[in-house]
Structure 1
């Protein structure tokens, strides 16, 4: 999938589109801010160089069709305010993991709810997924509430081998 045919998703208020190098400052913020990452274990991107390396990694993953990663923008601006992705696809391509983050300035406004609805719909309708999983920290009340509001159910006993603090939710087609 090239830059020319990456699927943009439009919702009532938002436009989800492909990440660009010019988004490096927001990537740096989202991956390095202590509040945003309070419940997430992942490499930071404090510098422009690290942010651009992350963007290049994402771009390569998109081009190799192993992930979908959208920057979230409001329709009236191209400013990135968060991200949402489908990745970690199963070998048979029927299961994927959803991940997301959002600038604290935009939290509590239904933006991630709107984004998650549209991306799960894309996953089931366009990618023909049967199951979408979400790994979230057991103490992340906002994320758990978001997932439950969107029909995700806790998978009792499923462990995240990379983070013992995480619990796993799933949404079936």
Structure 2
């Protein structure tokens, strides 16, 4: 399966696989291809990742981009600085909620706004999303 990716002015975004989410949940950061800033994951994010893994195990792999997190990588530092993702595929009205988190070390720079705009561009490619 091709991993959906997006690029913006300052960021690279790509979907995380179930195995990558499990690595994050198990604090196995050193095994990841992306070097993430150590301040990203909080206890509430761990809980959200567990829920995402459970949902992804029960659906078609083609729908995973709607249920997983997308890594947010800062182009300047080449470091993973946050996660952003949908909470499922679009509903009957064409809407899907977005959840996100970012390292405090990279906040207040407009980077999360840039990341959300980028995945919204990807979502608009789906005819069921408005």
Q: Which has the higher contact order (CA 8 A, sep 6+)?
A: 2
Other-structure match for 1:10: 7
Q: What do the CA deviations read for 1:66-120 (whole angstroms, capped 9, x no partner)?
A: 5242010012555321011122334547221111110000001111011111112
> Match of 1:119, SS?
helix
CA distance in 2, matches of 1:69, 1:44: 12
Alignment of 1:54-93 (within 5 A): 54=50, 57=53, 60=57, 63=61, 65-66=63-64, 67-92=67-92
Which has the higher Rg, Structure 1 or Structure 2?
A: 1
Other-structure match for 2:33: none
| Structure 2 gap segments, 5+ residues each | 30-35
TM-score of the aligned structures, taking structure 1 as reference length: 0.50
Change (3 A) 1:97 1:106: same
CA distance in 1, matches of 2:37, 2:50: 8
Between Structure 1 and Structure 2, which shows a larger proportion of helix residues?
2
What is the count of residue pairs matched by the alignment? 112
Shift of 1:44: 3.9
> Match of 2:3, SS?
coil
CA distance in 2, matches of 1:68, 1:56: 6
Q: What do the CA deviations read for 1:11-35 (whole angstroms, capped 9, x no partner)?
A: 11110013236654459853426xx
1:9/1:118 contact within 8 Å kept: yes
1:62/1:69 contact within 8 Å kept: no
Other-structure match for 1:149: none
Between Structure 1 and Structure 2, which shows a larger proportion of strand residues?
1
Alignment of 1:3-42 (within 5 A): 5-19=2-16, 20=20, 23=24, 24=27, 25=29, 29-32=39-42, 42=44
| Structure 1 gap segments, 5+ residues each | 34-41, 46-50, 131-173
CA distance in 1, matches of 2:14, 2:104: 20
